[in-house]
Amino acid sequence: MPAIRLPNRSGKLVTRRLKAQPVTAPPPPHRFNRIAFAAAHVVADPRSARESDAPPALDWDATLAFRRHLLDCGLRIAEAMDTAQRGMGLPWPAARELIQRSLDAATAAERARIFCGVGTDHLQPGSARDIDAITRAYLRQLDAVQSAGGRVIMMASRELARIADGPEDYARVYRRVLAEAEQPVILHWLGEMFDPQLAGYWGRGNLEAAADTVLGIIADNADVVDGIKVSLLDAKREIALRRRLPAGVKLYTGDDFNYPALIQGDARGHSHALLGIFDPVAPVAAAALAALAAGDTARYDELMSPTVDLARVMFRAPTRHYKTGVVFIAWLNGFQSHFIMPGGAQAMRPLDYFTQVFLAADRAGVLRDPELACARMRRLLSMYGIDA
């Protein structure tokens, strides 16, 4: 088994021997009994001369090749979402191009497995003066995605959170936007741990009242709502919301800490998945979902449980910087030749974070070529002045 010297929490170098047992995805056809989306990251172009505050240059070949990897694992893709640094390094023009390229690169059947983020992030922060401006912004992006042939995830809006006076404003915006949807839409409830600017979303200060608001919006528009993605990192709250949804409306868990039990479910139902953690753990997730569909819950738990340990490291506070861990693993696994992110986001975590992610990824069977991963980890350590 490969070994590597890594700094511990006190900075002392300790030799670690890897488990080095990568998990591979089952071959097609994939027979899952849960819908599973991976929110996919983007690959920056490291040779770009653009400054960090300019629109990012992307490596389109590597970005699209990673989407092929996710599709080949049997997963669906949540495109141009927060895992792709939407609103945190990836502005709307780049997101729109990403959506178009992703759909163009897919087959007709695969395009039905790609849902794309629609938001209001082309507005300058603080520029919206009324609810109508928010509605127009959503409709602009909705039209762009639908014109490209994409399915829609209606993302939470920072500008709506900023100016809404209460639940009625949310209901008004969502009703008008959903009325223009050509196919059922996935709504998105993103907690403030992922984006502090979304605190108080749905116009309520407490989550119980917010749940009442969003359930009312769903009930009023149930014919055009496929489901809702919930990212609150609160399993009990998610289950309570799931049990109150109208028949036919799905709950997609975005809980990157508690997803195995939520996906497995109970006698009263289960959650589907729309998860950032499924980007780095796609082969493991695919193998686990195949086991669940076959009724082998022991194997499902055996595969999924170590990925939660990885997720708890990757998504530790400040949670919004989890994308750094996602791209780090993609680099370790050879999906990209560098560890550079739009906006310089690779610098958002300390060395201890990368060390812990590396070790947890190995324990979860995520490092598909452990020798390559060790070589790249040594390259990272050398940048910190550590000879491992």
pLDDT in tens, the chain (388 residues): 799 999 998 889 999 999 999 999 999 999 999 999 999 999 999 988 677 667 789 999 999 999 999 999 999 999 999 999 999 999 999 999 999 999 999 999 999 999 999 999 999 999 999 999 999 999 999 999 999 999 999 999 999 999 999 999 999 999 999 999 999 999 999 999 999 999 999 997 799 999 999 999 999 999 999 999 999 999 999 999 999 999 999 999 999 999 999 999 999 999 999 999 999 999 999 999 999 999 999 999 999 999 999 999 999 999 999 999 999 999 999 999 999 999 999 999 999 999 999 999 999 999 999 999 999 999 999 999 998 6
DSSP state of 187: E
Which residues does residue 76 pair with via DSSP β-bridges, in sequence order?
37
The CATH H-level superfamily of 3-24+33-383 is Aldolase class I (3.20.20.70)
Structure-block tokens of residue 271 = 């959650």
User: Per this entry, what is the length of the chain?
Assistant: 388
- Cα separation values, 150 from 37, 114, 115, 241, 251, Å: 15, 7, 6, 27, 20
* Other C-beta atoms lying within 10 Å of the C-beta of residue 205: 8
Prior bond to 318 cis, omega within 30? yes
- At residue 307's C-alpha, the angle toward residues 18 and 352, to 5°, is 60
- Residue 239 near residue 245 (C-beta atoms within 8 A): no
Where in the chain are the domains? 3-24+33-383
How remote is the C-alpha of 218 from its chain's centroid?
22
* Other C-beta atoms lying within 10 Å of the C-beta of residue 309: 15
